[in-house]
Amino acid sequence: MSQGFRNWIKKGSTEFPPVAGRYHLYASYTCPWACRCLAVRELMGLQDAISLSIVHPTWQRTRPDDAEDTHCGWVFHEEAKGPVTSSTGHGSIPSTDATVDHLFGKRTLREIYELSNDTLGKYSVPVLFDKERNTIVNNESSEIIEMFAKEFGEVAKDACPVDLFPADKEAEMREVDEKIYHGLNNGVYRAGFARTQEAYEMGVNDVFETLDWLEERLERSRYIMGDAMTQTDIRAYVTLVRFDPVYVVYFKCNKKMIREYPNLYGFLRDMYQNPRIRSSTNMGQITRHYFTSHPTLNHYAIIPSCSTNLDLPHDRATRSYPSA
């Protein structure tokens, strides 16, 4: 699926150079694709260089005064304004950690897209916005994280000493990324929003085949690609951290829980306990979004309790791994 805006920020570019303070990230703590960008922004030390607005976790009518326009999507609603209800009028969902639109004071992300002359109408997060040209630069998460990691080094402050895109692993990493995307990142959605039994079974089987494959791979090394963290780990993490509290029940991916996979569960805790990864993970917003934004799956916006404890100790950093 085309994301619509695919410009590239690059060193030496006259159109979109990597300049501190020029770009703004619109994101959500709830969307796994947006959270890739939040995590890499933290890891690369770009908090001062790239400003940030966070949408509310619960989708709202984006044109509530137009009875014929039923689109529901991302809105801005800071905590001081109090809780909201779901699009069906149920629940009381707090606005903790959501913000206003820090650039224009708009009510909806849709308005940011319309400001940029969007023609697709997807209105998705993440959005990387150019304050100078007054337009969206890019809204494809895989490209945004690559730009953050490769192009902004000169404006970063206190970046982690990690190479998220190691050149010597690039070819294999692309293959692994594709497997993780199809079987896990997108697999849970194919299962959760399936409209036939056959489509559900195809999706859920892909999910657990991929989890079994990752479990075996993580027996051999601390991270998916070896001894050091790469962007592939972040791609897997954003789905794994949502799996037990959301996807097991909500998307009917209930053959096993992540806590039942020794290596995956250890990997998940290892990633979460990295302070910069943790700061991009907001379990409250994650559960609020999924259980209050899809009326066809949860009409009354009932939010279940979340018991996942990712602070338990693990041995991923100290154990001995077999040779590859």
State yes or no: is 189 an active-site residue: yes
User: How far from 195 is each of 79, 190, 199, 283, CA to CA, in Å?
Assistant: 36, 9, 7, 28
Q: Tokens in use for 239?
A: 């789905």
Burial 92-122 (b: 16+ CB within 10 A, else e): ebbbeebbbbeeeebbbbbbbbeebebeeee
Angle in degrees, 0-180, between the axes of helices 170-180 and 197-217, rounded to the nearest 10: 140
In order, the DSSP letters of 163-205 are: -SS-GGGHHHHHHHHHHHIIIIITHHHHHHT-SSHHHHHHHHH
Which of 23, 26, 29, 31 is labelled catalytic? 31
**Residue 302 CB-density burial (10 A; 0-12 exposed, 13-18 middle, 19+ buried):** exposed
Residues classed as catalytic: 31, 189
